[in-house]
Structure 1
Amino acid sequence: METGRIGIDAGGTLLKIAYEESGRIKYRKTGYKEAKELLNWLKLISPAASPSVTGGRASWVKEHFFPNARLVPEFEAVCTGAAILRQKEENTSVGQFLLVNIGTGTSIFLAGEGKCDRIGGSGLGGGTLTGLGSLLTGTDVFSELVGMAAVGSRQQVDLLVKDIYGGGDEPLNGDMTAANFAKGNGSRKEDLAAALINMIAETIILLTSQLAMASNVDTIVYAGSTLAGNAPLKDTLSAYTGAFGLNPVFLANGEYCGALGALMADGPTRN
């Protein structure tokens, strides 16, 4: 069956597509070892397609698979896709929000109401989880690292405020981190994975909370492939975001913001 419009997000780690079939938007993703198979499948089901492509490897997709593809600026695509997904979920128009897109690294945008300004970011993200996770645990398999973190305890790795004071008279919440990985020697792999995910979440929310205050917004929309199937990261981000008095929102299909935004560059969907 031939598809309608196609949006492709060729990111640093994953290739994600959003495509229109029978008036509905569908999604698929793959790592780059299987990317050629997915792109050739697209060519097979829609040989005349001229997809819209975004992301750091967009030129590679255009050169090797779809010479007539339209290249869409990555930031524009991500913000557009996020705004569409958020509006669909809330079934109403939405105001401005901070979009925290956690992919290989993390980008933070002031989005909504037609805005798409990248106002911050961090090198910590999914690439950190798999790269540093491999050094700490011996595996770079995303699902395995997430599984370890789910049963680990960062308290065996991180030095907490209560570890320093110990008498219950701490000037801060005793469970706050005083120093990441300060107790790391001899820790279990599961505990190291838990501490790693916590460090990523802490860094992201500390940056995000400052930017939210400066931008006068209180809604933080989280998206990106690193959140997919990653309950430990979602739970930690949700707790920290709420602790700062901000409202966390996790988009369903949020890992496809870029692909959806690229698809929408050709006009409104019928879905």
Structure 2
Amino acid sequence: MKQSTAGIDAGGSLIKIVYQENERMHFKKFSINQLDSAISWINISAPSLKVSLTGGKASVIQKKHFQGSIVIPEFQATCEGARFLLARENKSIEENYLIVNIGTGTSWHIVNGEKVERILGSGIGGGTFTGLGSFLTQAQGYQQLTILANEGNKGNVDLLVKDIYESSESPINGDLTAANFAKGKKLNHTEADRLASLSNMIAETIVLLTSQAAAIHQVKSAVIVGSAVVGNPSLRISLDFYMKMVGLTPVFLEKGEYSGAIGAYLTV
């Protein structure tokens, strides 16, 4: 029997797995708290694996389960995976561009021809949304949080530009945020409103840093990958809106959350 190959990205929140069988790529993910279940699933679904690992938990998994595997640096794997997906999904970009990986936190990489370099990192990301969201609401789990965020109105929590100018003509879009969470308890608002405000703040911060990086490196496109935008329409819509507003072209990859796992897989 031909040996199966697999790439595993074990990050701070999720374990993402890509493996090939009969010349077809398969994708699967688990919570990091389900590590044993993930390993059992791999061994049942694709026995006799040849494995390559990446991510913060890669060394732990290697020592415990796959001693013969290799560990690929996370940033290298993510960028290689993103470049592979751009071609696979027919979204190739001719000029230089940024890769913005929004996972538990966020990392920025500049792609210059064949050269890829990490240029920036931030603790703002999906972990912020999940962690701070749990403080702001009674919602349990990522899925509930994303559903609520999509239903909320950030204007009930954020101070908007139009709130400041009121009847006067605003010099910029009145729906833009003047100050995140500035209304505090002055107005009645729901858990959904608080999550919408949180999601918007994360999007604004990421776009602000992306636009600064793009200006420094003179690029116009940003490839968005990472698990934080998956199943999170509030965040994705805001990222798309703000990036276009600052003159950037956002490129969302269909399987972008698996970029690290794919990058690891490609090295097997």
Percent sequence identity over aligned pairs: 45
CA drift of 1:168 comes to 3.3
Residue 100 of structure 2: SS of its match in structure 1? strand
Contact 1:16 1:256 in 2 (8 A): yes
Q: How does 1:134-153 map to 2 (within 5 A)?
A: 134-153=134-153
For residues 106-152 of structure 1, give each alpha carbon's deviation from its aligned partner in whole angstroms, at most 9, with x where no partner exists. 01111252222111121111111110000001224111111111111
Tell me the distance in 2 between the aligned counterparts of 1:91 and 1:82: 11
Q: Is 1:221–2:220 an aligned residue pair?
A: no
Query: Which position in structure 2 is the counterpart of 1:57?
Result: 57
Contact 2:4 2:48 in 1 (8 A): no
Equivalenced residue count is: 266
Tell me which residue corresponds to 2:33.
33
Q: State the match for 2:73 in structure 1.
A: 73
Give the root-mean-square deviation of aligned CA atoms. 1.6
Compute the displacement of 1:18 (Å).
0.6
User: Residue 201 of structure 2: which of 185, 199, 202 is its match?
Assistant: 199
Q: Determine the C-alpha separation between the residues in 2 that align with 1:93 and 1:164.
A: 41
Matches within 5 A, 1:246-257: 246-257=248-259
Cα distance in 2 for residues equivalent to 1:228 and 1:93: 22
Q: Go from structure 1 to structure 2 and tell me whether the alpha carbon gap of 1:91 and 1:241 turns closer, same or farther (over 3 Å shift).
A: closer
Tell me the TM-score normalised to structure 1 length. 0.93
State whether structure 2 residue 235 is matched by structure 1 residue 258. no
TM-score normalised according to structure 2 size:
0.94
Tell me which amino acid in the other structure corresponds to 1:117.
E
2:4–2:50 CA contact under 8 A, matched in 1: no
For residue 208 of structure 1, give the secondary structure of its aligned residue in structure 2. Answer: helix
The range that moved more, 183-192 or 99-108, is: 183-192
Query: Could you say which residue in structure 2 is the equivalent of 1:269?
Result: none
Looking at structure 1, the residues matched to 35 and 88 of structure 2 have their Cα atoms a distance apart, in angstroms, of 29
Q: What is the SS of the residue equivalent to 1:56?
A: coil
Q: Aligned letter for 2:5?
A: R
Secondary structure of the corresponding residue to residue 49 of structure 2:
coil
**Runs of 5+ unmatched residues, structure 2:** none
1:194, 1:171 → 2: CA distance? 25
Structure 1 gap segments, 5+ residues each: 267-271
**What is the letter of the counterpart of residue 157 of structure 2?**
V
| 8 A contact 1:198–1:236 mirrored in 2 | yes
